[in-house]
Amino acid sequence: MSRAAHIVWRWRGLSLRSGRRALWVNLALALLIAAGALVSLRLGRIAIGPAEIWQVLAGEAPSRMLDHVVMDIRLPRLLVTLGAGAALGASGAIFQTVSRNPLGSPDVIGFTAGAASGALVWIIGFGGSGAGVVHAALAGALLTGICVYLLARKDGRVGAYRLVLTGIGVGAILSAFNALLLVRGDLDAAISGNLWLAGSVEGRSWGHVWPLWLGLGLLMPPLLLGMRPLGLMAMGDDLAGPLGVPVERARRRMLAGAVTLAALATAAAGPIAFVALAAPQLVRRLARMPDQPLIGAALMGAALMLGADLLSRVAPWGAILPIGQVTGVIGGLYLIWLLTRKRRRG
């Protein structure tokens, strides 16, 4: 069944409506990601052609060295980059819908700082590394999410502005705590902590890939189904309630899913700025949709992360930049452009 501006997909008792323009935007992003993925697998000190990459992926590697380079180094890095970007983009779309605020993203509201606190406590306090850092970052983000939710709750409800302001306050406290850990910690541990805080997909392994993509696979289907009630809640809790939306329960479930996505991304790649903030806004502008498209935001987040990773690897003078610093620079330029554009419009 089709309409002028929308396409409705029906399967048994489920129906999914999507704008025609949004479908084209998603297709363009998917093609862009596919092209960028090929470049990412080829890029490095050892030049590998597309035919050789295909042979390795098909299990017919020409040599053990090529198999090791592609399967153990470049492919895990690519999958972590795409998975973290998709998780951050989807998380940002949910936060901006729940808070009804374009600045509602996990890095602004403080959940990324919570993940950083967990990781730094493990690195500096216990001298840990490896998989323990991933688990500590995940625990830190989830505990921060619970704390922000409880503090923002009043009379059994969580207001949009209260959620954002509480998150900013908690994030500021955690940022100060993180700085204290770095100053007071052992020098070697502090250096390791600073490297993790820069955000990087360098040296990622399959141990980083599986938790991230397993979480995405488990969380995205229920979150997609939960976006429709959130769209009704955007009209106001008082209007959504009579339409059959369990307002507080829906908000709580979607926030839990968004926090978990942000925690998984941060645990795998470190704190990454800008992606969760900008991906939903960019795809909404391209698709010309009033609401936040979850799939489009995930694709845009993956494309932004992949683009930032490629830029970090082709920096001049042979410098290899952390991807978190690249996204931070791009994000700053984007915000300056946005403010300048709005000022010119009056």
DSSP string, 208-255: HHHHHHHHHHHHHHHHHHHHHHHHHHTT-HHHHGGGT--HHHHHHHHH
Q: Which residue has the tokens 């369990």?
A: 246
Cα 300 to chain centroid distance, Å, stands at 10
| Backbone phi, psi, residue 62, to 5° | -65, -25
Cα 204 to chain centroid distance, Å, stands at 17
36: amino acid identity, one letter: G
Beta-bridge partners for 11: 14
Q: 292-327 burial by CB neighbour count: b if 16+ within 10 A, else e? A: bbbbbbbbbbbbbbbbbbbebbeeeeeeebbbbebb
Domains and CATH numbers, the chain: 17-345 (1.10.3470.10)
Round to whole Å and give the CA distance between 104 and 92: 7
Contacts of 337 by beta carbon, 8 Å cutoff, 6+ apart: none
DSSP 129-140: -THHHHHHHHHH
Count of alpha carbons within 13 Å of 182, Cβ hemisphere only? 16
Residue 220: the pLDDT is 94
Residue 3: the pLDDT is 47
Using left for φ > 0, alpha for ψ between -120 and 50, and beta otherwise, residue 128 falls in beta
Number of neighbours of residue 9 by Cβ within 10 angstroms:
11
What is the full per-residue pLDDT of the chain (346 aa) written as tens digits?
344 455 665 655 555 566 678 888 999 999 999 999 999 999 888 888 899 999 999 888 888 898 999 999 999 999 999 999 999 999 999 988 888 777 788 888 888 899 899 989 988 887 766 678 888 888 998 899 899 988 988 877 777 778 888 999 999 999 999 999 888 878 888 888 888 888 889 888 898 899 999 999 999 999 988 877 776 666 666 666 666 667 778 888 888 899 899 989 998 898 998 899 889 988 888 887 766 688 999 999 999 999 999 998 887 755 677 888 888 888 888 778 777 876 666 5
Residue 292: the pLDDT is 67
Q: Distances in Å between the alpha carbon of 155 and those of 151, 158, 221?
A: 11, 8, 31
Q: What angle do CA 203, 134, 99 make, to 5 degrees?
A: 115
Residue 1: the pLDDT is 39
DSSP 8-state secondary structure symbol assigned to residue 126: S
DSSP 8-state secondary structure symbol assigned to residue 179: H
Residue 154: the pLDDT is 81
335: amino acid identity, one letter: L
Q: What angle do CA 5, 279, 86 make, to 5 degrees?
A: 100
Residue 239: the pLDDT is 64
**Residue 345 burial by Cβ neighbours in a 10 Å radius (0-12, 13-18, 19+):** exposed
| C-beta separation of 179 from 117 below 8 A | no
pTM of this structure? 0.89
Beta-bridge partners for 18: 7
